[in-house]
Amino acid sequence: MAIRSAIITVMIQAAYKAAPGLVHDFGEVENLQVSMKGPSDFVTSADLQAERVLRAELARARPAFGFLLEEAGVVKGTDESHRWIVDPLDGTLNFLHGIPHFAISIALEHNREIVAGVIYDPLRDELFRAEKGGGAYLNNRRMRVSSRAELSQAMIATGIPWRGRPRQSQYLDWLAAVMTNCVGVRRLGSAALDLAYVAAGRYEGFWEPALSPWDIAAGILMVREAGGFVSEIDGGSGVLASGDVLAANDQLHEPLLALLAAANATRGAT
């Protein structure tokens, strides 16, 4: 059984505390699907309630730390070197539609570096966690990125920019390149779980533009601690700031970078 540090224990306890409310509310959403008004207000309040629980638990354990919360935004702490980055419900659209795929994501930043991450899928009871230098685990089993080294065997996850989002035509070029070179593409609707699944070796890679820090902070650390690579889609290192993510196992990160860059180049030429 892997040893857990005090800080990761705090993060896990917070996730476990918020999860039953989400699971309960998810059950209610399934009933609300048939009502005229639809469940969207209800989902918003489930999301806010989960964030309140997470915030209270984390603040109780480490009162001085600040926060970056998806819903409440920035909360300054007296300890300016530590900050929690929290997405109380990643996969909101799935939740809203009664699709059982969503997660809580919590990361801890120390001096602007992500040092710990927890992603919890409460419906499957899958707890993904990582600490800087301490490896990544799924329910106490060490995680390692997949060893598939051929794009032709690679299963790649992605997020599709929806109505009104920028860069849709660029995205279609990327998608065309990936779908014609890889064995499969998945869009399951939770970026946090997409990254956790790369860390767990379920996917060979994942790319999505324009994500937010709370979607990816924990997952980036997880992929790296599981032996994978994470960069911006063009290879840059400012992934948390830009939100343009390319994560992959150690053997396929480079080929995927090249594939996406070539898709861009072709586009530029037409």
Q: Which residues bind ligand IPD (CB under 6 A)?
A: 87, 89-93, 159, 189-191, 208, 211, 215
Shortest distance, position 143 Cβ to ligand IPD, whole Å: 20
Shortest distance, position 214 Cβ to ligand IPD, whole Å: 7
Tokens of 124: 């499957």
Tokens of 131: 């600490």
Q: Mutual orientation of helices 168-181 and 253-269 as an angle, nearest 10°?
A: 130
Between residues 217 and 251, which has the closer beta carbon with respect to ligand IPD?
Answer: 217
Between residues 92 and 249, which has the closer beta carbon with respect to ligand IPD?
Answer: 92
Shortest distance, position 258 Cβ to ligand IPD, whole Å: 24
Question: Which of Ca ion, ligand IPD, none does 159 bind, CB closer than 5 to 8 A by kind?
Answer: ligand IPD
Question: Which of ligand IPD, Ca ion, none does 199 bind, CB closer than 5 to 8 A by kind?
Answer: none
Q: What is the DSSP string of the chain?
A: -----HHHHHHHHHHHHHHHHHHHHHHHHHHHTTSSS-SHHHHHHHHHHHHHHHHHHHHHH-TTEEEEETTTEEE--SEEEEEEEEEEEE-HHHHHTT-S--EEEEEEEETTEEEEEEEEETTTTEEEEEETTTEEEETTEEP-------GGG-EEEE----TT-S-HHHHHHHHHHHHHHSSEEE--S-HHHHHHHHHTTS-SEEEESS--HHHHHHHHHHHHHTT-EEE-TTS-S-HHHH--EEEE-TTTHHHHHHHHHHHHHHHHH-
Shortest distance, position 215 Cβ to Ca ion, whole Å: 4
Residue 264: Cβ within 10 Å count: 15
Interface residues toward Ca ion, by CB under 5 A:
70, 87, 89-90, 215
Between residues 49 and 135, which has the closer beta carbon with respect to ligand IPD?
Answer: 49
Question: Which of ligand IPD, Ca ion, none does 66 bind, CB closer than 5 to 8 A by kind?
Answer: none
Between residues 57 and 87, which has the closer beta carbon with respect to ligand IPD?
Answer: 87
Shortest distance, position 207 Cβ to ligand IPD, whole Å: 11
Shortest distance, position 6 Cβ to Ca ion, whole Å: 27
Nearest residue to the partner ligand IPD, using Cβ: 159
Between residues 183 and 210, which has the closer beta carbon with respect to ligand IPD?
Answer: 210
Question: Which of Ca ion, ligand IPD, none does 145 bind, CB closer than 5 to 8 A by kind?
Answer: none
Question: Which of ligand IPD, Ca ion, none does 211 bind, CB closer than 5 to 8 A by kind?
Answer: ligand IPD
φ, ψ of residue 26 in degrees (nearest 5): -60, -40
Between residues 20 and 166, which has the closer beta carbon with respect to ligand IPD?
Answer: 166
